[in-house]
Amino acid sequence: MPIYAALVERWASAGRAVPGRYDREWAELVNCPAWPERVRSAARPAATPTPLNRP
């Protein structure tokens, strides 16, 4: 177990997630609703259709 203990210490000191330890970022992600009531769309604004030039 000395190798694992050294890895855990290295990961923890680097701010990485460590199996079996509390991770604030993960806790926030899993506690958010899957489908929030208000979803902000990052889609592009609707384009204005180009009129057809027919003879």
Which ranges of the chain does DSSP label H, i.e. alpha helix? 2-13, 24-30
Does a structural domain hold residue 52? no
Domain interval for residue 5: 1-30
Instruction: Identify the band that residue 7 occupies on the pLDDT scale cut at 50, 70 and 90.
Output: very high
Q: pTM of whole model > 0.75?
A: no
**Per the structure block, which two tokens stand in for 17?**
């997630």
pLDDT tens digits, residue range 17-40?
A: 898 889 998 899 899 888 877 655
Does a structural domain hold residue 38? no
Structural domain count, the chain: 1
